């Protein structure tokens, strides 16, 4: 039996991992806290750690894992921008779940777009108070509108399929366009200039950090909608806020936020929100924030548990590590 320290545990994680752990000969110690340099000591005595998107896997955490003789980190997610891969090289192996359900994220993304455009969140609150006025709830037909997709990987392409169903005009930008595909690729500036809606589906890397900054926003159409279910750091939040205040940006649907690490997944409803940018964004009627939940479907959780445990099983048994992250 191998022993695994599982950080940042939520009740829904336990449901799906507990169902499968015996099959993979693994004992799991669940920790509620995030993995940081301050509580990495919880992992002492384990053979591996399992971490998630908002854990911090920096040089200090990696040094501690090496000290505890832990040779593997299994990310139970696709993204790994929170891991210092350069530093991890040769010290710990990093595994991930490259794909679990592109449908979960793409469908949530369309949910954000429909809610923002047709003001469903506002309509819901109104009718609950028997306010049946329609003032301020005017939307537009998605049919025929131009949507710019940044990143045509698994999720971007799944979202393109959904947009096709709405008969939207789809353009895309990707650093590595798919050869011979029927996707109409344009360059980044053209995408900014021509899109009524811009949807982000590329990873957060040093190249894509603040891809949507003041310059990019200035190029966009007046009233543009911006959707981000990818990573918060892709958007300069201050520039986004400015664009919303001066009404350059018509609406923003955000499942991620660049400073979400200490905020998302926790209940702050009894406290004063200290992040002023997030508080201001949430106060706006044309901003819809969800708490990094786009992945959260049953199908995705089953797949995450299966692939994470299989990754660890393969590592422990010397099998091929098909989901190893290379720096």
Could you give the residue numbers annotated as active site?
231, 260, 292
Q: How far is the CB of 40 from ligand NAI (least distance, A)?
A: 24
Could you tell me which of 43, 31, 95 has the C-alpha nearest to residue 68?
A: 43
Q: How far is the CB of 311 from ligand NAI (least distance, A)?
A: 16
Query: 301 — phi, psi (to 5°)?
Result: -65, -40
CA pair distance 300, 304, nearest whole angstrom: 6
Q: Which of 26, 92, 142, 150 binds ligand NAI (CB under 6 A)?
A: 150
Distances (CA, A) of 56 to 8, 154, 251, 266: 11, 25, 31, 16
Q: How many residues bind ligand NAI (CB under 6 A)?
A: 30
CA pair distance 217, 307, nearest whole angstrom: 38
Q: How far is the CB of 134 from ligand NAI (least distance, A)?
A: 32
Could you tell me which of 151, 142, 126 has the C-alpha nearest to residue 196?
A: 142
Binders of ligand NAI in range 82-121 (CB under 6 A) = 99, 102, 105
Helix axes 102-118, 120-128, angle to 10 degrees: 60
Binding flags for ligand NAI, 246-275, as an x/- string (CB under 6 A): ---------xx-------------------
CA pair distance 93, 142, nearest whole angstrom: 45
Residue 228 pairs with which residues in a beta bridge? 200, 254
Binders of ligand NAI in range 44-73 (CB under 6 A) = none
Contact region for ligand NAI (CB under 6 A) — 30-38, 147-155, 160-168, 268-276? 147-155
Q: Which of 5, 119, 153, 160 binds ligand NAI (CB under 6 A)?
A: 153
C-beta of 147 vs 155, nearer to ligand NAI: 155
CA pair distance 118, 134, nearest whole angstrom: 11
C-beta of 17 vs 46, nearer to ligand NAI: 17
Q: How far is the CB of 47 from ligand NAI (least distance, A)?
A: 26
Residue pair 303/96 in contact (Cβ under 8 Å)? The answer is no
Binders of ligand NAI in range 11-50 (CB under 6 A) = none
Q: How far is the CB of 79 from ligand NAI (least distance, A)?
A: 4
C-beta of 132 vs 176, nearer to ligand NAI: 176
Instruction: State how beta strands 2-6 and 93-95 pair.
Output: unpaired
Q: Which of 155, 160, 163, 227 binds ligand NAI (CB under 6 A)?
A: 155
Could you tell me which of 35, 81, 98, 80 has the C-alpha nearest to residue 62?
A: 35
Binders of ligand NAI in range 282-321 (CB under 6 A) = 292, 294-295
Binders of ligand NAI in range 156-215 (CB under 6 A) = 156, 173-176, 201-203, 205, 207-208
Q: Which of 8, 195, 230, 323 binds ligand NAI (CB under 6 A)?
A: 230
Alpha helices in the chain (DSSP H): 11-20, 59-67, 85-88, 102-118, 120-128, 154-165, 188-194, 214-219, 237-245, 276-283, 298-316
Contact region for ligand NAI (CB under 6 A) — 84-92, 214-222, 227-235, 273-281? 227-235
Residue ranges that bind ligand NAI, judged by CB under 6 A = 78-79, 99, 102, 105, 150-156, 173-176, 201-203, 205, 207-208, 229-231, 255-256, 292, 294-295
């Amino acid at each position: 039996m191998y022993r695994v320290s599982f950080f940042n545990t939520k009740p829904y994680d336990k449901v799906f991992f507990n169902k499968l752990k015996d099959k993979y000969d693994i004992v799991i110690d669940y920790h509620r806290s995030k993995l940081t340099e301050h509580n990495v000591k919880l992992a002492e005595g384990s053979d591996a750690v399992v971490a998630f998107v908002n854990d911090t896997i920096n040089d200090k955490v990696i040094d501690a894992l090496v000290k505890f003789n832990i040779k593997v980190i299994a990310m139970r997610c696709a993204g790994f921008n929170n891991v210092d891969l350069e530093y991890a090289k040769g010290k710990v192996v990093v595994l991930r779940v490259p794909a679990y359900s592109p449908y979960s994220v793409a469908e949530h993304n369309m949910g954000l777009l429909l809610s923002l455009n047709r003001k469903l969140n506002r309509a819901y609150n109104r009718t609950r108070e028997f306010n049946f006025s329609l003032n301020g709830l005017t939307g537009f037909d998605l049919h025929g509108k131009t949507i710019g997709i940044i990143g045509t990987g698994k999720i971007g392409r799944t979202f393109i399929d959904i947009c096709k169903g709405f008969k939207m005009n789809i353009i895309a930008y990707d650093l590595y366009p798919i050869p011979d595909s029927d996707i109409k690729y344009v360059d980044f500036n053209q995408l900014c200039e021509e899109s009524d809606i811009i949807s982000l589906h590329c990873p957060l890397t040093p190249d894509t950090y603040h891809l949507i900054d003041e310059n990019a926003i200035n190029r966009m159409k007046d009233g543009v909608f911006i959707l981000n279910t990818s990573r918060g750091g892709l958007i300069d939040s201050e520039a986004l806020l400015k664009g919303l205040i001066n009404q350059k940006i018509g609406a923003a649907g955000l499942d991620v936020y660049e400073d979400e690490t200490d905020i998302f997944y926790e209940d702050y409803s009894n406290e004063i929100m200290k992040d002023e940018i997030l508080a201001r964004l949430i106060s706006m009627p044309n901003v819809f924030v969800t708490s990094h939940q786009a992945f959260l479907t049953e199908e995705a959780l089953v797949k995450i548990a299966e692939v994470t445990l299989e990754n660890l099983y393969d590592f422990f048994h010397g099998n091929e590590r098909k989901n190893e992250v290379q720096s």
